[in-house]
Chain A
Amino acid sequence: MSKNKEVILSVKELKKHFDVGGGQIVKAVDGVSFDIYRGETLGLVGESGCGKSTIGRTLIRLYNPTSGSVTFKGVNVNDLKGPELKKFNREMQMIFQDPYASLNPRMNVLDIIAEGIDIHGLATGEERRKRVVELLETVGLNADHAERFPHEFSGGQRQRIGIARALAVEPDFIIADEPISALDVSIQAQVVNLMRRLQKEKGLTYLFIAHDLSMVKYISDRVGVMYLGSMVELAESDALYDEPLHPYTEALLSAVPIPDPEVAKTRERIILEGDVPSPINPPSGCRFRTRCPKAMDICATAVPEWKEAKPNHFVACHLYNE
């Protein structure tokens, strides 16, 4: 289905390295390429330190890439200036992980949500307030909440405010960086249902970054799996979960706790040994080889190529060489 779709965002060979001093360089993202189609949800999963948040932040220009390109609607986002940049800032918005840290405690909800409206001059006076109230209602809050401050809200409510703020400038692309990890289970479902409803109503495109694989499977059309700065597999979410190709994806999926005692007792788990190596000095060749149960000699010497092993199913692993 994704074939006839329009590419809204294209990432090519993206690298983001951080100089941490002492001549050491953290290769947080090291050569990642993927496309996002208009109206879809692309999930990005991986463990802490795999670079998934760095990708999100580089896409929206919170970081400048070390090399590689990010093309949004046909334009390289790092070339944008002046009015074009301002337009881009409207079109792409972000929802953050920590609803406690991402809202200014000194501003009331009205001003928090209207900040984007003010910057882009979308509305003033009564119209401005009306818009904010509409947004509050869209995310399940109401007009009474407009004059309150962030500390008066629960985590789930704050995340709703964060979503309303992102929607205020009528974006069409939203990066959600772990939007539900800080919330309780029952509240997570509320926020996910809200995000799905908004996507349907407004035709939004999402990049959904998370480490909770069952939630990512549920919300995403396609899912990309990252390990230590590289993308190891990318496929439609059913295909990825039903037939994972990369040994890391397999291990990651088998490690997800499943809330069903019978399944938990009968399934076989692949327990990975050890920890993720340091991104300052990653292993040669395939970065996963030090923990891979299927590692071969070639894995230490050659970086596996990123290729389409099945239609719409990409993987970087020597097991799938011809």
Chain B
Amino acid sequence: MMSKILEVKDLHVSFKTYKGEVKAVRGVDFHLNKGETIAIVGESGCGKSVTSQTIMRLIPNPPGVIKQGEIIFEGTDLTKASEKQMEKIRGSEISMIFQDPMTSLNPTLTIGTQIMEGLIKHQKLDKKTAREKAIEMLRLVGIPSPESRLDQYPHQFSGGMRQRAMIAIALACQPKVLIADEPTTALDVTIQAQIIDLMKALQEKTGTSIILITHDLGVVADIADRVVVMYAGKVVESGKLEEIFYQPKHPYTWGLLGSMPRLDLSRDQELLPIMGTPPNLLDPPQGCPFAARCQHAMSICTQEMPELDEVSSTHQVACWLQHPMAPEVKPPTAAVGGK
């Protein structure tokens, strides 16, 4: 059996605003095994980015508060770690790449300085060795003539090159976990394909475990081993890649899959959108948060939040339709194709 490297248990994160408490993450459980890639998918505001930033403890406090829960990384609970401990972990044990390479690099420092920073701080390398290592990293992520590129500034790089540089920075200290928050969303498709290929190749080489945050199910199908589907601050379904794509159980997952035009969908067929919009997390509904948009909602759905039930040892879903007394509902063909 694979061993868990990171485990998130019953995590609750809230933000105090003048309007009240926004409950962004409301009880999230998942784990990450060594060497695997999990994808956290969901729409804007579902809490996927807050979850990942909480793992890195990047949520500013105030206004953000970890209300309860644990994040276990190699035996330590990161929610209780001191700022000093976190400094040792960030960039060295757990690294992160962000969506927008334009704003997440420091425009006043050369790319080389930014890669060397972590190496000098965490691995205590001297400047010369750090520089050699930085050149090696740039070469690894496929940047041509790295010796001269090292002394250039971010504005001299194109969007795809900046994202490669970000990956080089993130991987310089060989972290055990890499969190990639929408790493390809800002990029064009041909560049996106380059970056995904690069991430796959680097994972094979270094054995890093990856948490990929995205809303693009196409990218997920390409790279992930397991998928966690989030909605309104909760995990509604999680399972192996094939389980989520071919045997989805939650109506929200059906909705996500059905909203995307598949290549075998003819133009006469309608897409299957999810009606309405997500709930306001200032005052989340008492029952299942998806009930208001769900075609199959029953009266219990608005009253009580369903527990995460096991469909198989790897596949879990939180939906009342799984209850033995619930009517049998088949996923729409727009979601699962003819299969």
Contacts and interface: CB of A to CB of B under 8 A. Distances in A.
Nearest to B191: A275
Nearest to A157: B277
Interface residues of A, number: 41
Q: Is the interface of A mostly helix, strand, loop or mixed?
A: helix
B222 interface: yes
Contacts of B255: 186
Given A184-B215, A185-B43, A264-B222, A271 B194 contact: yes
Contacts of B258: 189
Contacts of A184: 43-44, 215
Most interface-central of B191, B197, B258, B273 (chain A CB within 10 A):
B273
Interface in A101-122: none
Interface in A22-72: 47-48
A213 B262 contact: no
B259 interface: yes
Contact of B259 (A154, A185, A252, A261): A185
Interface stretch (A4-12, A162-170, A214-222, A302-310): A214-222
Contact of A189 (B159, B222, B273): B273
A261 B221 CA distance: 5
Given A186-B274, A252-B190, A257-B221, A215 B261 contact: yes
Contacts of B215: 184-185
B242 A47 contact: no
A80 interface: no
Contacts of B156: none
Contacts of A280: none
A104 B125 CA distance: 54
A257 B277 contact: no
B217 interface: yes
Contacts of B194: 271-272
A82 B245 CA distance: 57
Most interface-central of B221, B241, B257 (chain A CB within 10 A):
B221
Contacts of A48: 159, 188
A183 to B, nearest CB: 9
Contacts of A186: 43, 255-256, 259, 273-274
B144 to A, nearest CB: 8
B271 A214 contact: no
Contact of B189 (A193, A213, A215): A213
Interface in B180-207: 188-194, 196-197
A34 B258 CA distance: 33
Interface string A236-278: 0100010000000001101111111101100001011001100
10 closest cross-chain pairs (CB), A and B: A257-B218, A189-B273, A218-B261, A186-B274, A47-B188, A255-B193, A189-B259, A259-B217, A189-B271, A184-B43
Interface of A: 47-48, 154, 156-157, 184-190, 192-193, 196, 211, 213-215, 217-219, 237, 241, 251-252, 254-261, 263-264, 269, 271-272, 275-276
Given A186-B274, A190-B274, A255-B192, 10 more contacts: A48-B159, A185-B256, A185-B260, A187-B277, A196-B270, A257-B192, A258-B263, A259-B217, A259-B218, A264-B222
